[in-house]
Amino acid sequence: MEHTTYSVGLDIGTTKIVAIIGKENEYGKIEVLGTGRSKSLGVHRGVVNNITQTITSIQQAVEQAEADSGLKIGSVVVGIAGQHIRSLQHSDYITRPNSEEVINEEDLDKLCNQVYKLVMLPGEEIIHVLPQEYKVDGQAEIKQPIGMYGGRLEANFHVVVGQVSSIKNIGRCIKSAGLDLGNITLEPLASSDAVLSQEEKEAGVALIDIGGGTTDLAIFKDGIIRHTAVIPFGGNIITDDIKEGCSIIEKQAELLKIKFGSAWPGENKDNEIVSIPGLRGREPKEITLKNLSKIIHARVVEIVEQVYVEIKNYGHEDPKKKLIAGIVLTGGGSQLNHLKQLVEYITGMDTRIGYPNEHLAGDSEEEIASPLYATAVGLLMNAIKNGKSDRLFEGGQEEAEMVLEDFGEANAQGSQHERKTVFDKWSEKLKDFLDNAE
């Protein structure tokens, strides 16, 4: 069989695990060759809490995608999110030995490496170091200092931090499912690639990805990511509220939310009633849609207000930091009726629903263009961008485990050359090791 370059994105979510196989067509659009989806059983609020169940769910999604495409999956690009992810702003500087020489890549690398040595809380590791803007000898607001003269090089950084145990657990699940880890990327960054335009990122935009277990926020301004946050609530907590409030089982609560749910109680009339079958011969339950939307409204307001606090923490109220393009909602939770109107009402910002369809080839299935698949499409784009051609490595399980253990060392040596994240370097190291393993 001839070797074709194709890529795989694997979204390990709280409610579902999605595997998408695809390649770039001649027009630069993504052609989806196969998809697989399975119920996620071992993940809670974006964090793996049952390795065995997660491995089984990954295998089911991968087998489905392989059957759909007729291709064999080897290496995947996977997303990381969860309540353990946090971000911070940090400023750092280096003094250059010779100010008569121009600033080069090595100087930027040295400055970024210095940030990777920041002391974190026990068990935490720096995932991404993203430079915001630079200062050279006090001259501020420099986007690209390469080629300039100067003795003191400063920069503001957006630093994303996560629990190293959670990262290793994801790596272990991928390995145990018989796959290779191509790269790991932050899920809000993947979603933003799939649904935001470059113009929006320049103007200033907040991406809100409402998943099952968490709500992820990524804020862009002047084309640069400025703020990230993970709020530990998502669509599942709304389902739980419906389950408790209406005294019904989870499956019925989820169906009610999807079919009849609304984030705006005023939309439903008092006489609109839905009947839920009783359990094992019991009388059916009658639930008014107004009560249902009141339950949903209360929880959605709480989630949106928490997100809005993060947007204000970024500094949206400062005229220089204003997010002109407003808010983009994506993820499965964004499909809730009247959510767009509620978000606009609470925040006073323009809002739209983000679909990943503009990057997909015209003949793609309609389902893939849903906000539900935004992260998975973004991960696939990341895989294509990194030129990760899908191939099986000859390395054994033990060698892979050893390299995963070596994660901390890779972090210490991480360089920011061409905006490479520590994961790019770490996964390259992993691949080299596996390639050379006997």
Q: Domain holding 141: CATH number?
A: 3.30.1490.110
pLDDT at 176 over 50: yes
Q: Characterize the bridge pairing of strands 180-186 and 124-136.
A: unpaired
Whether residue 69 is found in the same domain as residue 172:
yes
Q: Is 183 in the same domain as 49?
A: yes
In the predicted structure, residue 191 carries a pLDDT above the cut 60 = yes
Residue 438: band (very low, low, confident or very high) from pLDDT cuts 50, 70, 90: very low
Q: Which are the contacts of 369, defined by CB distance < 8 A and separation ≥ 6?
A: 355, 356, 357, 360
Instruction: Give the Å distances, CA to CA, from 73 to 6, 134, 167.
Output: 9, 41, 21
- Per the structure, the complete domain to which residue 384 belongs is given by 7-83+164-192+358-436
Q: Is 95 within the bounds of a domain?
A: yes
Cβ atoms of 110 and 94 within 8 Å: the answer is: yes
DSSP 141-164: EES--TT-B-SEEEEEEEEEEEEH
**Is the pLDDT higher at 268 or at 14?**
14
CATH number at 421 reads 3.30.420.40
The answer as to whether 419 is a domain residue is yes
* Predicted confidence (pLDDT) at residue 392 exceeds the cutoff of 50: no
- Mean pLDDT (the chain, rounded): 84
State the DSSP string of 176-233.
HTT-EEEEEEEHHHHHHHHH--HHHHHH-EEEEEE-SS-EEEEEEETTEEEEEEEES-
pLDDT in tens, 253-289: 999 999 999 998 887 777 889 988 888 878 888 899 9
Q: Please give the Cα distance from 286 to 304 (Å, whole number).
A: 29
Query: How many domains does the chain fold into?
Result: 2
In a shared domain, residues 79 and 140: no
Residues 119, 109 within the same domain: yes
Task: Kindly report, residue by residue over 137-151, the tens digit of the pLDDT.
Answer: 989 889 899 999 999
Please write the tens of the pLDDT for every residue from 374-387: 999 999 998 888 76
> Do 143 and 169 sit in the same domain of this protein?
no
